[in-house]
């Protein structure tokens, strides 16, 4: 069985309800936001990997990110 694809939709919806309970987001809007978050997380993971390799350590610290 292949692993399930991670979805941001439920988290986006919960956050929107906390911040602006009177607003709603369309399915297309959720898809766009989810894709944007996927791209952001991919770039963040790539940059973290680069920092870890550059510093020749297995752990990324807050100081490395500064």
User: Residue 3 pLDDT > 80, yes or no?
Assistant: no
Please write the tens of the pLDDT for every residue from 35-63: 999 999 999 999 999 999 988 888 888 88
> Within a domain: residue 47?
yes
> Within a domain: residue 61?
yes
- The whole-number pLDDT of residue 38 equals 93
Domains held by the chain: number = 1
% of the chain beyond a pLDDT of 90: 65
- The whole-number pLDDT of residue 5 equals 73
d(CA 3, CA 28) in angstroms, rounded, equals 24
pTM of structure:
0.77
> Within a domain: residue 51?
yes
- Give the range of the structural domain holding residue 52, as residue numbers without chain letter: 27-66
């Amino acid at each position: 069985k292949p692993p399930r694809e991670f979805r941001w939709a439920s988290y986006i919806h919960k956050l929107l309800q906390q911040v602006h309970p009177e607003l709603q987001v369309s399915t297309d809007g959720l898809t766009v936001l989810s894709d944007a978050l996927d791209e952001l997380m991919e770039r963040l993971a790539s940059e973290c990997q680069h920092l870890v390799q550059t510093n020749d350590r297995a752990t990324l610290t807050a100081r490395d990110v500064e």
